[in-house]
Structure 1
Amino acid sequence: MVLSHEGEAWRSAGQAARWTTERVLDLAPDEQSRAAGRALGSEDAWSGAGRGGPGVAWGVCADGGAGPHHTAVDTNIPYYRCSCSHEEAPCRHVLGLLILLGSEAPVLEGPPEPPPWAARWFADRRRPAVTGTTSEPAAAGEPAGRAAARRADRRAERITGGAQELEQRLIDLLRGGLAAADRPDYALWEETAARMVDAQAPGLAGRVRDLGSVPASGPGWPARLLEQCALLHLLDSAWLGRDRLPGPLAATVRTRVGLTVPAEGPAVRDRWLVLAQYDVPDGRIVTRRVWLHGRQSGRTALLLSYGAPGRAPAQALPVGAVIDAEVTPHPGGGRLRAELGQRFGEPVVTAAPPPGGTTADAVAAYGHALRDDPWLDAWPVTLCDVIPAPSGDGWQLVGAADGSAVPIAPSALSRPGLWKLVALSGGHPLTVFGECGHRGFDPLAAWCPEGSDDPEVSAAVALA
């Protein structure tokens, strides 16, 4: 069971989901609360904090000059309460405390008994949960699921309004010409992104902000800007016509505009090879991406985890290890993203690389994936028997058998991993896993040439 807006329960099949930062921020009633809650998920913002058992925590939040605010949560009922006067529910203090609870922050390792104020609140926690006042209470006797459906409908309406406004702004941009977008004082992008945040469509807001960096990307930027505008128009149109889309594509569109789609369906148990693991900064939050390959199923899965400010994500798996575990996929095009479930036994290190193909196969796989998700930047692939070789100002991976090649993505050229790859190869073919997209191939891990007698280089080498 996880907590929903207004203290209602979101029930999930089987075991309760872990409180990741992403799940906590999904509870935010608006983008402002989301940003503020993320900022308060730091140990420095709390004092007198403690944890009374699984899913139960309390603390006093300074919150700058606005505090202190007393906050308590119990995710088992669920229940939350805060002494602040904010109308949104849950408030930013509740969100921050839930982030600390999910990250098992040391600040919660206080006395196991709650202070008197928290003890009084917990004594009343079987009553309806409150945080200040609730802006949109459920009607008397209304089931929790129906209230949640009302909120989902209202958010969909806001996103639809934002998508319609974005369409008009794209039309105005093209009618006026792209040359104006190169002016230093051009403010359309930030203004439009702010409107998408107001519409509760963070995915659209992020893509609009990305447009702002295109005019500074060098020669040929007008063509790249037009391409990105076309993809944004396609996403707008897909959202407005989502009722007519196939189920998997509709799920992809919901994810791309910023709606979280939970994992669903039967879990897949397999012996999963850890292909790669790397962290991506996202403001103050760190996103960890872990790629897995199922030895029996042949599936590729992506695990995402998030770290609160100042803390690395808790989920860590060694590259080159094999874990016996269950994963549950998320819906959407490609069904790559998954949640890691029950694990059986300890990881086992292996020297065997995953199966792969040629560079031509990799490009074809990315093209095939674009049919299910036209906004996909890259697709996970494994290349067999390729040799890193210089090409002009960059590098490429050349197939030893057929001579076909794929350029290495510019983002990878400045990483030390490129020189690890060159040194590991030594001019000989090897197996490389990475992400292949329209910018090229981003190598993330490599396996030494077959027949190596050195056991220290027979396992995977992380390149990210």
Structure 2
Amino acid sequence: MTQQGVRWTADQVLALAPDAPSRKAGSKLGVAGPWSEAGSSGEGTVWGLCKGSGSRPYQTVVDIADIAGAAGPAYKCSCPSRKFPCKHALGLLLLWAGEDGTVAVATDAQPPGWAEEWLAGRRKRAETKRTSDAAPGSPVADPEAARRRAERRAERVTAGVRELEQRLSDLLRGGIAAAEQTGYGLWEETAARMVDAQAPGLASRVRELGAIPSSGPGWPVRMLEECALLHLLGQGWLHRERLPEALAATVRSRIGLPAPTEGPSVRDRWLVLAQYDSADSKLTTRRIWLYGAESGRTALLLSYGAAGRAPSLALPVGLALDAELTSYPGAGQLRADLGEQFGAPAPTAIRPPGARTEQAAHRYGEALRDDPWLDAWPVTLSEVIPTPLPGPSSDSWQLVDVEGDMALPITPSAASRAGLWRLVALSGGAPVTVFGECGHEGFTPLTAWPRGAGEAVTLC
């Protein structure tokens, strides 16, 4: 943290923004004008005062490493914003990331009192938690009571699954076309019943089922496919005792039952491959993909926030994080939990090894064998060129191998985003390396690197 060369890029800072308006507002504050007393220490802390509309400037501090919370950068600002990070935190990080040295960096720099008070509180809470977790007299949950609670929940889930199976049978008996007349209300009611049955995973898939009739041409085929997957999941739950343990764990996960992490923690230098959010009316879900430089593993971090609020976990794309991860159970499951961090995210020359488009499709097929409900699988493509699909329409794109005659179509949703044009501009007709998700609709690009040396470019 003591050298200007290890600071983040502007793209990596803006990737932390909770939404586009915050990104725009933060960019305006990434200049020296509104800031005073800005500084940074070698321990990974940045602070400063930002002039606002009031008489007193906003006090802003960022703990870049967030060793205390092990959840990416942490932020504190005296402004009234409920977004994390707020525009002032983003502006401060942009100022720190600049090449003009506006934010002085010194290993012996001491933050001002207001910033030190917040940092000291974080360190104290972290130490208290570590002491509590390590205390030999810590209370132990009653295993018998936990077993009874699990049995009661399993009974409720089973009742919900049987009700869902009956709804699917009624739909197929009456004909798929009837779903267009029944409307969304029936499926929302069914989803509510799945929530009552404590099966949130089923509830989410049922809501998606209700939206299919209004999804455009070809919806009956998509409806039948989703009904089949729901039926398969229901039957997997009802006969879970006959399944291999790994597949049974996957079924429990897809149903929505919580599961603790298992196995030893893996410490590695984890490259942050991509970060993006998806939201519904109740929840914002953030997905962060990581690649272990030494283990060669790809891992997924999930975090959640209430509707309209960004999750607290945020990591800058393209940087490497020295940290421990612990995996969750399940066949073909890549989800992990972020444990202790041993330093701030830092620039790196690490890139994930790439595959050809044919290999990417093959890997997705293999992953479906372990998890039939999988929508997509993470893959890095090497030496590909974004190219419009032949035909009268210029809205469809593909990633073409420079060697061979294979290609992967880019998913329609990705082809309509501004990230596609960033990818085209980065390529300029030359091969690039692209990380993304390969699924039944095609490939969704999330991050790209130019041939040779160059920073990661986020596409989502």
Distance 2:310 2:215 in 1: 31
2:360 is the alignment partner of 1:362: yes
Residues 352 and 459 in structure 1, CA contact (< 8 A), matched pair in contact too: no
Shift of 1:267: 0.5
- Alignment match, 1:415: 417
Root mean square deviation, CA, Å: 2.2
Shift of 1:187: 4.0
Shift of 1:183: 1.2
Amino acid at match of 2:151: D
- Alignment match, 2:444: 442
Residues 353 and 431 in structure 1, CA contact (< 8 A), matched pair in contact too: no
- Alignment match, 1:263: 261
- Alignment match, 2:323: 325
Task: Please state whether the residue corresponding to 2:169 is helix, strand or coil.
Answer: helix
Amino acid at match of 1:287: T
2:375 is the alignment partner of 1:377: yes
Residues 103-118 of structure 1: matches in 2 within 5 Å? none
- Alignment match, 1:63: none
Shift of 1:395: 0.6
Q: Which whole-Å deviations, capped at 9, do the CAs of 1:336-380 have from their partners, x for residues lacking one?
A: 000111122232212442101101111100000001100000000
Residues 325 and 342 in structure 1, CA contact (< 8 A), matched pair in contact too: yes
Amino acid at match of 1:357: A
Which of 423, 428, 431 is the aligned partner of 2:430?
A: 428
Distance 1:267 1:300 in 2: 14
Which of 450, 453, 457 is the aligned partner of 1:461?
A: 457
- TM-score when normalising by structure 2: 0.67
Q: Which whole-Å deviations, capped at 9, do the CAs of 1:314-354 have from their partners, x for residues lacking one?
A: 22211111112110000012230001111222322124421
Residues 135-214 of structure 1: matches in 2 within 5 Å? 144-183=142-181, 185=183, 187-214=185-212
Amino acid at match of 1:230: A
Residues 388 and 395 in structure 1, CA contact (< 8 A), matched pair in contact too: yes
- Alignment match, 1:249: 247
Q: Which whole-Å deviations, capped at 9, do the CAs of 1:229-260 have from their partners, x for residues lacking one?
A: 00000000000001111111111100111111
Task: Please state whether the residue corresponding to 2:179 is helix, strand or coil.
Answer: helix
Q: Structure 2 vs 1, CA of residues 313 and 143 (structure 1 numbering), >3 Å: closer, same or farther?
A: closer
- Alignment match, 1:3: none
Q: Which whole-Å deviations, capped at 9, do the CAs of 1:27-86 have from their partners, x for residues lacking one?
A: xxxxxxxxxxxxxxxxxxxxxxxxxxxxxxxxxxxxxxxxxxxxxxxxxxxxxxxxxxxx
Shift of 1:145: 2.0
How many residues align? The count is 322
Residues 380 and 434 in structure 2, CA contact (< 8 A), matched pair in contact too: yes
Shift of 1:403: 2.4
Q: Structure 2 vs 1, CA of residues 202 and 302 (structure 1 numbering), >3 Å: closer, same or farther?
A: same
Task: Please state whether the residue corresponding to 1:333 is helix, strand or coil.
Answer: coil
Residues 320 and 351 in structure 1, CA contact (< 8 A), matched pair in contact too: no
Q: Which whole-Å deviations, capped at 9, do the CAs of 1:136-177 have from their partners, x for residues lacking one?
A: xxxxxx972211211111010010011111111111111111
Task: Please state whether the residue corresponding to 2:436 is helix, strand or coil.
Answer: strand
Residues 180 and 186 in structure 1, CA contact (< 8 A), matched pair in contact too: no
Identify unmatched segments of 5+ residues in structure 1.
1-102, 113-141, 453-457
Task: Please state whether the residue corresponding to 2:332 is helix, strand or coil.
Answer: helix
Q: Structure 2 vs 1, CA of residues 315 and 174 (structure 1 numbering), >3 Å: closer, same or farther?
A: same
Distance 2:422 2:183 in 1: 43
Q: Structure 2 vs 1, CA of residues 270 and 221 (structure 1 numbering), >3 Å: closer, same or farther?
A: same
Q: Structure 2 vs 1, CA of residues 348 and 210 (structure 1 numbering), >3 Å: closer, same or farther?
A: same
Distance 2:278 2:180 in 1: 28
Residues 279 and 307 in structure 2, CA contact (< 8 A), matched pair in contact too: no
Shift of 1:186: 6.3
In terms of mean alpha carbon deviation, does 269-278 or 422-431 score higher?
A: 269-278
Task: Please state whether the residue corresponding to 1:314 is helix, strand or coil.
Answer: coil
Distance 1:376 1:158 in 2: 25
Q: Structure 2 vs 1, CA of residues 330 and 397 (structure 1 numbering), >3 Å: closer, same or farther?
A: same
- Alignment match, 1:396: 398
Distance 1:216 1:282 in 2: 17
Task: Please state whether the residue corresponding to 1:432 is helix, strand or coil.
Answer: strand
Amino acid at match of 1:461: V
Amino acid at match of 2:211: S
Q: Structure 2 vs 1, CA of residues 186 and 307 (structure 1 numbering), >3 Å: closer, same or farther?
A: closer
Higher relative contact order (CA 8 A, sep 6+): 2
Distance 2:446 2:324 in 1: 24
Which of 265, 279, 282 is the aligned partner of 1:281?
A: 279
Distance 1:222 1:426 in 2: 40
Q: Structure 2 vs 1, CA of residues 186 and 430 (structure 1 numbering), >3 Å: closer, same or farther?
A: closer
Residues 323 and 348 in structure 1, CA contact (< 8 A), matched pair in contact too: yes
Residues 429 and 449 in structure 1, CA contact (< 8 A), matched pair in contact too: yes
